[in-house]
Amino acid sequence: MSAAGSRFEFAPAAEAVLRPLVDGRTLDLASLAETAGLALEDVVGLVQELVAGQAATVGSLL
């Protein structure tokens, strides 16, 4: 994946997390983990990479 001038490489299992984000959907991390069938900690780590690389932002659903 290329975003914000950076190139990111992820395991194939990450597609289930990345697809909704690339499609522009707003989801909480628990929903992403459940949808992808991954541990919440793994999804948090992936999202942290995206945020650190300025390829994603984290907001509040409140």
User: What whole-number distance in Å separates Cα of residue 1 and Cα of residue 26?
Assistant: 19
Backbone φ and ψ of 5, nearest 5°: 75, 10
**Residue 4's pLDDT band (boundaries 50, 70, 90)?**
low
Instruction: Give how far Cα 27 sits from Cα of 8, 18, 46, Å.
Output: 21, 11, 14
Q: Region 15-43: what's the mean pLDDT? A: 89
What is the domain extent for residue 47?
A: 14-52
pLDDT value of position 62: 60
7, part of any domain: no
Q: Look over the chain and give the mean of its residue pLDDT values, rounded to a whole number.
A: 83
Q: What are 11-23's pLDDT values in tens digits?
A: 888 888 888 888 8
27, part of any domain: yes
Backbone φ and ψ of 44, nearest 5°: -60, -45
The total number of structural domains in the chain stands at 1
With a cut of 70, say whether residue 25 has pLDDT above it. Answer: yes
29, part of any domain: yes
Q: Region 8-36: what's the mean pLDDT? A: 86
